[in-house]
Amino acid sequence: MLLIDIRSGEYVLVKAKAVLLGTGGGPTMYTYHTPSGDKSCDGMAMALRLGLKLRDMEMVQFHPTGVLAGPGTRMTGTIIEEGLRGSGGFLLGGDGNRFMHKYDPRNERATRDIVSRAMYREMLAGNTNEHGGLYIAMAHLGPDRVRREFKGMVERCADMGFDLAGGQVPVVPTAHYMMGGVVFRPDGSTDLPGLFAAGEDTGGVHGANRLGGNGVANSTVFGGIAGDSMARWVPRHGALEDPCPAALDAAMALAEAPFARPARSLTPIRDTLHKLMWDKAGILRDEAGLAEAASGLDALEGELSATGIADGARGFDLAWQEWLNLRSLLLVSRAIVTAAQARRESRGAHFREDFPQTDSDSAGLSATITTLGADGRIELGWQPVSFSRIRPGESLLPAAAE
pLDDT digits (tens, 9 = 90+) for 266-324: 999 999 999 999 999 999 999 999 999 999 999 999 999 999 999 999 999 999 999 99
Q: How many angstroms separate the CA atoms of 351 and 154, rounded?
A: 32
Please indicate whether residue 101 is annotated as part of the active site.
no
Marked catalytic residue, from 63, 210, 274, 285: 63
pLDDT digits (tens, 9 = 90+) for 334-387: 999 999 999 999 999 999 999 999 987 666 789 999 999 999 999 999 999 888
Distances in Å between the Cα of 361 and the Cα atoms of 207, 258, 364, 381 are 17, 47, 6, 17
Q: How many angstroms separate the CA atoms of 187 and 170, rounded?
A: 43
Q: How many angstroms separate the CA atoms of 113 and 173, rounded?
A: 10
Report whether pLDDT(37) > 90. no
pLDDT at 58: 98
pLDDT at 249: 96
pLDDT digits (tens, 9 = 90+) for 53-86: 999 999 999 999 999 986 666 677 888 999 999 9
What percentage of the chain has pLDDT greater than the value 90? Answer: 86
* Domains by residue range for the chain, with CATH: 64-173 (3.90.700.10), 258-384 (1.20.58.100)
Give the single-character DSSP code of 393.
Answer: T
pLDDT at 363: 62
Please indicate whether residue 33 is annotated as part of the active site.
no
Give the residues across from 202 on adjacent strands: 182
pLDDT at 396: 67
Give the residues across from 171 on adjacent strands: 67, 134
Q: How many angstroms separate the CA atoms of 265 and 318, rounded?
A: 12
Q: How many angstroms separate the CA atoms of 66 and 14, rounded?
A: 38
Report which residue type is found at 95: D
Is the CB of residue 367 less than 8 Å from the CB of residue 320?
A: no
Bridge-based pairing of strands 134-137 and 181-182 is: unpaired
Distances in Å between the Cα of 230 and the Cα atoms of 47, 225, 236 are 18, 9, 10
State the chain's mean pLDDT as an integer. 94
Whether the model clears a pTM of 0.85, i.e. scores above it, the answer is yes
Measuring CA to CA, which residue among 155, 173, 177 is closest to residue 165?
A: 155
Give the single-character DSSP code of 366.
Answer: E
Is the CB of residue 188 less than 8 Å from the CB of residue 226?
A: yes
pLDDT digits (tens, 9 = 90+) for 123-176: 999 999 998 999 999 999 999 999 999 999 999 999 989 999 999 999 999 999
Torsion of CA 60, 61, 67, 69, to 10 degrees: 10
Marked catalytic residue, from 55, 85, 206, 334: 85
